[in-house]
Amino acid sequence: MIELRTYVFIDSLQPQLAEYMATVSQGFLPIPGDACLWVEVSPGMAVHKLTDAALEASSVRLAQQVVERAFGTMVIHHRVQSDVIQSGNTVLEHLGREQTDRQPCRIAWQEIIRGMTPDHTVLINRQNRSGNMILPKASMFILEVEPAGYIIYAANQAEKAANISLIEVHAVGKYGRLTIAGREGDVDEAARAALAAVKNPAYA
């Protein structure tokens, strides 16, 4: 039995998220404005068959595939939304599932830290080299969810909502983690958008 942990459709990748994904992508790099589908299943090895089905179904490109023992993740993208949706429907057919069968998202941790100190921001910046840097006195929002893949949708919606800096988006493994930073009001607005996203993820 294959468990559908995450099935997240993004209609238009925002610039920072697309560029962040490109820094860790092992396949064809997404660009801002691409539609994207993030699928996470268990057990991990099952993702190979689903990836093959998705790529044969349309002209989508494979951005990333991560195969762990417990979880497998597939990320496809294309400029044309209908191609991504078509490949996603093919994946669901192979699984014998509907989008509504995906595992609900659980928020494991959320917090806003305001007026960051220089020591704290320097350490975070040294740890996270794929995204932007946090400046001293900025506010920071951190979010941790399960399953991990939902954090991608949260990041995209947060970037849509406010002028923030994307610091980290970790979307594989058991938990997904998001870190954003910026002015206090912008971070508050982006945090609301991210939380709303994981509480009610969109359907393709």
Q: In this predicted structure, what is the pLDDT of residue 31?
A: 96
| pTM over cut 0.85 | yes
Output the pLDDT for position 128.
79
Q: What is the predicted pLDDT for the residue at 160? A: 98
Each of the 204 residues of the chain gets a pLDDT tens digit; together they read 899 999 999 999 999 999 999 998 889 999 999 999 999 999 999 999 999 999 999 999 999 999 998 999 999 999 999 999 999 999 999 999 999 999 999 999 999 999 999 999 999 999 877 899 999 999 999 999 999 999 999 999 999 999 999 999 999 999 999 999 999 999 999 999 999 999 999 888
Predicted local confidence at residue 6, as pLDDT: 97
H/E/C letters for each residue in the chain?
A: CCEEEEEEEECCCCHHHHHHHHHHCCCCCCCCCCEEEEEEEECHHHHHHHHHHHHHHCCCEEEEEEECCCCEEEEEEECCHHHHHHHHHHHHHHHCCCHHHCCCCEEEEEEEECCCCHHHHHHHHHHCCCCCCCCCCCEEEEEEEECCCHHHHHHHHHHHHCCCEEEEEECCCCCEEEEEEECHHHHHHHHHHHHHHHHCCCCC
